[in-house]
Amino acid sequence: MLSIFKKEINSFFSSLIGYIVIGVFLLFMGAFMWVFPDYSILNYGFATLHQLFDFAPWIFCFLIPAITMRSFAEETQSGTIELLATRPITDIQIILGKFFANWLLVIIALIPTLLYYYTVHQLGAPVGNIDAGEVAGSYLGLIFLAGSFVAIGLFSSSLTNNQIVAFVLGIFLCFFFYMAFDFLSTLSSNDHFIELFGINYHYNLLSRGAVDSRDVIYFVTFITGFIFFTKTALERRNW
């Protein structure tokens, strides 16, 4: 697993992929946080990072499938997946190596946003007038959400050898599991039960700063489930 992890990380940063991902994310988030007047913190009047945690999931819905689309689709198209299959490593080790490498890249992209926290912390009146617990919970929720989208993206990539198809399918599934259950809950009398299946519900709970083990278990189960689906998809393909 470690060898796959290192290979993926090296491929990200030996080319422009890693830098483009980080740059695009920070460019969009910087624009929403500081430039667009309707969303800018400078015009908001409150010491908060709500803009970051509200818009980041939507950016991730596009950005993460763009990262993961090559994970298995490119390997299958180029034939290198056959070489991986013959090495003394299991399918689950290959999947986990790719999963943690992609997840780490997204987490690295989040690290510079800590500068936003420091800036808002200093701009508060008085200085430090920001809910640190809420911010910490929101970051934790965003990291788990990113892991969930990475797991979805890997599954999408395992279903096809076409990167564009993997990208489109990844976007669809990310949007579906992020928002569809909220919409479906409005059509049912048992709305709360349906909401429990959606990522957004658990992400919002973590964003309030109160870390509940049930939300953590949901994300861990969700990620594990899609890793299992990816393993099943790989096993059913003919190399």
Contacts of residue 50, defined as CB under 8 A and 6 or more positions apart, other chains included, come to none
Cα–Cα distance, 10 to 5 (Å, whole number): 9
Q: How many residues in total does the chain contain?
A: 239
Report the 10 Å Cβ neighbour count for 178. Answer: 22
How deeply is 205 buried, as exposed, middle or buried, from its count of CB atoms within 10 A (0-12, 13-18, 19+)? middle
Closest CA to 138 of 113, 119, 175: 113
Average pLDDT, the chain: 85
% the chain with pLDDT above 90: 38
Segment 146-162, tens digit of pLDDT: 999 999 999 999 998 89
Confidence of residue 124 (pLDDT cuts 50, 70, 90): low
Contact 66, 167 (CB under 8 A): yes
pLDDT top residue among 77 and 9: 9
Contacts of residue 19, defined as CB under 8 A and 6 or more positions apart, other chains included, come to 13
Provide the whole-model pTM. Answer: 0.90
Contact 154, 99 (CB under 8 A): yes
Q: Is the pLDDT of residue 239 over 50?
A: no
Residue 86: per-residue pLDDT? 67
Q: List the domain boundaries for the chain.
A: 2-236
Cα–Cα distance, 101 to 239 (Å, whole number): 24
Residue 188: per-residue pLDDT? 64
Contact 185, 111 (CB under 8 A): no
Q: What average pLDDT does range 160-183 have in this prediction?
A: 91
Output the CA torsion 92→78→4→113 (10° steps): -100
Q: Is the pLDDT of residue 40 over 80?
A: no
Cα–Cα distance, 110 to 120 (Å, whole number): 16
Residue 142: per-residue pLDDT? 94
Segment 188-221, tens digit of pLDDT: 666 677 888 889 989 988 887 778 889 999 999 9
Segment 61-95, tens digit of pLDDT: 999 999 999 888 877 777 676 666 667 778 898 89
Contact 226, 102 (CB under 8 A): no
Q: Is the pLDDT of residue 237 over 80?
A: no
Which segment of 29-33, 38-42, 72-76, 86-90 scores lowest on mean pLDDT?
38-42
